[in-house]
Amino acid sequence: MPASSRHSRQFLFIAILLLGINLRPILAVVGPLLEQIQQATGLDDSQAGLLTTLPILAMGICALYGGWLQRHLGEYRGILLGITIIMVACLVRFPWDSRAGLLVSAALGGVGIALIQALVPSFIKRFFLQRSSLLMGLYTTGIMAGAAVAAATASPLSGLAGWSGALAFWGILAFIALLVWRKAPSSREAHEPNAIYHPAPHGLQHWALMLFFGIGTGAYSLVLAWLPPYYMQLGWSAAQSGFLLGGLTLTEVCAG
């Protein structure tokens, strides 16, 4: 194996990990800061729920068009567009910290997340089939690690830069991921010549997998959105509730 090819793949490993890290902070950072956000913007409980519902809804809708996105954007460009959208959605929350700004950026962030989630797995399977399990584990670990760190640091960052600054902070990491992905080798360069892509089977198994992962994702999203506010109502501080969610998510990092 040529050294340049090995280094290219190692660089892509880092890029994929960074992409994963950026997929959950826009959701995980909201819970510990929800009380501050509501006090500053006047969001009621139903509207506050949209801060996590809108990204998930956008993720679900865009996921239905994964094949279309892959054909028309391509995996490499589609992922680049996705991380760019996430960066903008996070950064815009600092100057545009109104009720409308938060809701629009939540939906926008969901679109960016959906693009990456729809295209990264197919990118991994297509060009790294021989190491797809390793890379998918790395990618999943990055997702959970991003959620854990975002939840645990939400309150400390809010103390330094305000709640809008804590929300916008994650745009910086998205910008870093954007730069790394732009420098990553193209999909053609990353291809493993001996890898053969096998399409997934069809039929009842698809519906069983949809049900299984749907229930798991629903439960995770519920905990991600409402665990910190629930414990804050019990008298916990924002920092304590954030560390609680971070600790819970850390167990998922270990599993990943």
Domains of the chain in start order, with CATH, are 3-185+203-255 (1.20.1250.20)
Which of the two residues, 201 and 59, has the higher pLDDT score?
Answer: 59
Residue 6 in this model has a pLDDT that exceeds 90: no
DSSP code at position 203: S
The pLDDT score that the predictor gives to residue 214 is 84
Taking all residues of the chain, what is their mean pLDDT, rounded to a whole number? 85
Which of the two residues, 8 and 55, has the higher pLDDT score?
Answer: 55
Residue 253 in this model has a pLDDT that exceeds 60: yes
Confidence class for position 18, pLDDT limits 50, 70, 90: very high
Residue 154 in this model has a pLDDT that exceeds 70: yes
The pLDDT score that the predictor gives to residue 187 is 47
Residue 194 in this model has a pLDDT that exceeds 90: no
Confidence class for position 186, pLDDT limits 50, 70, 90: low
Residue 191 in this model has a pLDDT that exceeds 50: no
The pLDDT score that the predictor gives to residue 69 is 79
DSSP code at position 176: H
Residue range 51-66: mean pLDDT, rounded: 85
Which of the two residues, 97 and 206, has the higher pLDDT score?
Answer: 97
Residue 7 in this model has a pLDDT that exceeds 70: no
Q: How remote is the C-alpha of 186 from its chain's centroid?
A: 22
The pLDDT score that the predictor gives to residue 5 is 59
pLDDT tens profile 80-136: 999 999 999 999 999 999 999 999 999 999 999 999 998 998 888 887 777 788 888
SS3 content of the chain, % helix, strand, coil (to 5): 85, 0, 15
State phi, psi for 95 to the nearest 5 degrees: -80, -30
Identity of the residue numbered 125 = K
**H or E segment to which residue 1 belongs:** none
Place of tokens 């996430």: 86
Q: How many CB atoms lie within 10 A of CB 33?
A: 25
Nearest to 169 by CA among 153, 183, 185, 180: 153
Q: Over pLDDT 90: what percentage of the chain?
A: 45
The pLDDT score that the predictor gives to residue 192 is 43
Residue range 223-237: mean pLDDT, rounded: 88
pLDDT tens profile 159-172: 999 999 999 999 99
Locate the DSSP E strands across the chain.
none
The pLDDT score that the predictor gives to residue 224 is 83
Q: Which two tokens stand for residue 135?
A: 């890379």
Residue 188 in this model has a pLDDT that exceeds 70: no
The pLDDT score that the predictor gives to residue 124 is 87
Give CA separation, 95 vs 102, 168, 196, 216, in Å: 11, 9, 48, 35
